[in-house]
């Protein structure tokens, strides 16, 4: 079972992201479960949502305490909430930012981490560019497909089409695809650097 925890703020589509991730997994014939952590859903308040993906029925119902991957939709949460709590050693981290992990003040935390599992993508900018609104959730799903390899980009696109239509769907597909390409390029760069230092 692969477990994903998504951190963001109310109004950023955190719960929608978890639901679309589960739809993408269903599209691949897998079992999936998505649910929010209930709390204040008001605009700007920290929100957490969870998604589990597995090849057989999922019986667990509790919140994800030890995720395999984190998607952080709002980098301002990094120093307000313990977003990394319970993250499995060597797990995947995808942050919505155009800064590096070092610039975010995470050098110590990531020192022994496999660099190809640490990715950033400016998802809010991609969303503004393609959809005209600052909604980082869908581009981050494209980025997640690239970094974790648990779901395919094509499945994310099918999930987008099941949720949106017309220009909004087309814009979200373009944003997710560009995020996927950016993250893949970032991972390739990280692998080349690690090979050079090996």
Strands 92-96 and 118-121: parallel
CATH number at residue 174: 3.40.920.10
Distance CA 6, CA 81 (A): 12
**How much is the pLDDT for 195?**
84
**How much is the pLDDT for 25?**
97
pLDDT tens profile 161-184: 999 999 999 999 999 999 999 999
Give counts: helices (H), strands (E), the chain. 6, 6
Distance CA 38, CA 17 (A): 15
Range of the domain at 47: 2-197
Distance CA 52, CA 4 (A): 6
pLDDT tens profile 119-153: 999 999 999 999 999 999 999 999 999 999 999 99
pLDDT tens profile 27-79: 999 999 999 886 656 677 899 999 999 999 999 889 999 999 999 999 999 98
């Amino acid at each position: 079972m692969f477990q994903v925890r998504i951190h963001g703020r109310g109004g950023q589509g955190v719960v929608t992201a978890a639901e679309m991730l589960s739809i993408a997994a269903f599209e691949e014939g897998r079992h999936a479960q998505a649910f929010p952590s209930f709390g204040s859903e008001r605009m700007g308040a920290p929100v957490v949502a969870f998604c589990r993906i597995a090849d057989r029925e999922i019986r667990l119902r509790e919140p994800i305490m030890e995720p395999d991957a984190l998607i952080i939709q709002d980098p301002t949460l990094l120093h307000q909430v313990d977003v990394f709590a319970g993250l499995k050693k060597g797990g995947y981290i995808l942050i919505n930012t155009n800064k590096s992990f070092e610039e975010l003040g995470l050098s110590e935390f990531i020192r022994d981490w496999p660099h190809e599992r640490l990715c950033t993508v400016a998802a809010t900018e991609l969303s503004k560019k393609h959809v005209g609104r600052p909604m980082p959730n869908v581009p981050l799903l494209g980025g997640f497909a690239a970094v974790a390899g648990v779901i395919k980009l094509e499945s994310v696109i099918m999930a987008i089409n099941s949720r949106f239509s017309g220009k909004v769907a087309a814009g979200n597909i373009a944003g997710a695809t560009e995020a996927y390409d950016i993250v893949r390029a970032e991972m390739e760069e990280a692998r080349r650097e690690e090979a050079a230092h090996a």
